[in-house]
Amino acid sequence: MAKKAKAQFVCQSCGYVSPKYLGRCPNCGQWNSMVEEIIQDTTDRRVRTSITGQKAQPTKLTDVIPKKEPRVKTKLSELNRVLGGGVVPGSLVLIGGDPGIGKSTLLLQVSQQLAATGGKVLYVSGEESADQIKMRAERLGAIDNEFYLYAETDMHEISRAIENMAPDYVIIDSIQTMTQPDITSVAGSVSQVRETTAELLKLAKTNGIAIFIVGHVTKEGSIAGPRMLEHMVDTVLYFEGEKHHSFRILRAVKNRFGSTNEIGIFEMREQGLVEVANPSQVFLEERLAGATGSAIVVAMEGSRPILVEVQALVTPTMFGNAKRTTTGLDFNRVSLIMAVLEKRAGLLLQNQDAYLKAAGGVKLNEPAIDLAVAVSIASSYREKGTKTTECFIGEIGLTGEIRRVSHIEQRVREVQKLGFTKVYLPKNNLSGWEPPKGIEVVGVATIGETLRKVFGASN
């Protein structure tokens, strides 16, 4: 029977499908984003079959015997932490990031390490030739015999190569360059991305192959393509950082096999990505002694405590309305803290411009940073600096109270390990644990009490 073809219009921003052309997408509101695509009816109604020829059959849950396959650990412990302990066989991992941030470099290093553990790796590239990848691989390190390159974009050919080789790991660089010949739309369109990802998902789950997918991001910072792409995969990782800085942060935003709060920190060097073993020291090494508008906080990123410097610059406004600018901090949270400082601590901030940032390019969004933000604002406003050996932890309520936070023991141990001698924290966090030796723990109940203890009586 001849294959049926039908035309449909697909929004290139959100993936909304319409049988007729629309000037504006009714789902996301984008104008002129509907593109006509001819879809061939190539529905495969056969039972899903693995490389070994086994067919999937309905099975009772009580009869299912899970395979106890251990996670495969790479030599990058930061990546292992973000993945939840290592690479899970049969998982589909999506890594997104800005162009040139280091996605391909990271996966090339990981591919070499996985091949060195005895696994067979197939690196599929739709953006570079085999010669280009070979030159980059030689610069990054040793090359293993079980590391295979394949410069191809046709998913039919890629699937055939996977079936013939039966690799343990597959790298797809990138998903926006892969195409399904049955679909007439261009590479990178919503239909192409959706269908190629579905094919890779079937290969991963049916044959137990761990597949890593590189995904480009839009100017808004989200993965390019339909939103369902992130729903289909097991793990979504974002590789963040600024081009003009060497540090990179790998962050998990979805993980079916581990926590979504973990981050890994790397430094880009000539020989590739290198792990940052002590990120707290890196973020604090350029802090000026005696500078006003600076405070140190211990933020929890998953199970890892990280010391970060919060900086504030408060100056009288030259216009009618005061300006508020934040980098790495939530704008609404900063506005709330400034309102509490004005109402509960007597700081006249309504005619002051305020500029705040988390130094080092880190994004802080947990409640425990409130106290450090408030102290940095007060420090800049009063022109009094905090001591370089002091640290601040706590959440601020609307009535000016300092509320308890989680993981207080881990935070204080990290502070003590880096040589700090005093830490201000919520008074309700003092009970039930013993502070380490060599550090003074000061419990505070209100924001007014904290400012009096840190800066003395107000002028």
The binding site consists of 97-104
The answer to whether the bond into 376 is cis (omega within 30° of 0) is no
* Tally of CB atoms within 10 A around 413: 16
Vertex 429 angle, CA 427 and 430, to 5°: 75
Q: Which residues contact 101 (CB under 8 A, 6 or more apart)?
A: 239, 240, 241, 243, 248
* Tally of CB atoms within 10 A around 238: 23
Give the DSSP H/E element, type plus range, for residue 301: strand 294-301
Q: Which two tokens stand for residue 217?
A: 């991001």
Q: Which two tokens stand for residue 60?
A: 């009772």
Annotated binding site for ATP: 97-104
In DSSP notation, 135-175 reads HHHHHHS---TTEEEEE--BHHHHHHHHHHH--SEEEEE-G
The single residue listed with the structure tokens 């991001």 is 217
CA dist., res. 264 & res. 279, Å (int): 9
In DSSP notation, 202-252 reads HHHHHHT-EEEEEEEB-TTSSBSS-THHHHHSSEEEEEE--TTSSEEEEEE
CA dist., res. 404 & res. 290, Å (int): 29
- Dihedral through CA 426, CA 427, CA 428, CA 433, nearest 10? 100
Instruction: Report CA-CA distances (Å) from 268 to 21, 105, 106, 243, 245.
Output: 46, 9, 10, 10, 9
Q: Which two tokens stand for residue 250?
A: 């790998």
Q: Which residues contact 147 (CB under 8 A, 6 or more apart)?
A: 111, 112, 115, 121, 123, 137
Q: Which two tokens stand for residue 403?
A: 């509320």
- Dihedral through CA 371, CA 373, CA 376, CA 382, nearest 10? -80
Q: Which residues contact 252 (CB under 8 A, 6 or more apart)?
A: 82, 83, 235, 236, 237, 258, 259, 260, 261, 262, 263
Return the closest-CA partner of residue 421 out of 371, 387, 444, 453: 387
